[in-house]
Amino acid sequence: MEIKRCDWVNSDPVYIAYHDEEWGKPLVDDLKLFELLMLEGMQAGLSWYTVLKKREGFREAFDGFDPEKIVLYGEDKVEELMQNVGIVRNRLKIKGVITNAQVYRQICREEEGGFAGYLWSFVGGTPVVNHWKNRAEVPATTPQSDLMSKALKRKGMKFVGSTICYAFMQASGMVDDHALDCYCRSTPSAVES
């Protein structure tokens, strides 16, 4: 019997594994959420598939997306990253990750529940389960992604527009937008950390 998946998944085993094992699974780990949000920002103007194929390169280049290391990056590191063919070489996006690492630290210090608690507050701490009949019904933004985007921008984050925030919410399991006939459709399960 054929396994039904969301129709955006291609035949690449890496993409299939991402869909089956990660996308839409509730994620509550501060550092993993930071990495995911930074990768979503890197995707702006590109496809997620492109970024996913470079994910290991990003992890290596950005010290495992460790905010404590990233905040120390200076111009020499930016220039080094601009020469790295394993990542998206966009100066504004690279500098955005550095800025965002500083904001991440601020949020972790100031917000109850840290980064995860802060981000999950935009969906009331519980995944929103949608019931779209087809991909054409899935919105690019929602009121929740609008609020998240505005709040993150007010704090100083870069590359966190509402479309990026909604894609992030889908990927991190804050929103379940698996197709109704997808075998990964929301079932009661533990939240991943």
β-strand pairing of 175-176 with 128-129: parallel
48 among known catalytic residues:
yes
Whether 120 is catalytic? no
CA distance 59 to 74: 18
Residue with tokens 């500083």: 102
Q: Which of 8, 18, 22, 192 is the catalytic position? A: 18
Q: Is 24 helix (H, G, I), strand (E, B) or coil?
A: coil
Catalytic residue among 15, 23, 40, 73: 40
What six digits make up the tokens of 83? 């020469």
**CA atoms of 173 and 186, how far apart (whole Å):** 10
| Dist CA 23 CA 103 (whole Å) | 25
Question: Tokens 């550092």 correspond to what residue?
Answer: 31
DSSP three-state, residue 124: coil
Rounded to whole angstroms, the Cα distance separating 136 from 104 reads 33
Instruction: Spot the catalytic one: 48, 49, 111, 192.
Output: 48
Residue 162, both tokens: 């509402």
What amino acid positions are annotated as catalytic residues? 18, 40, 48
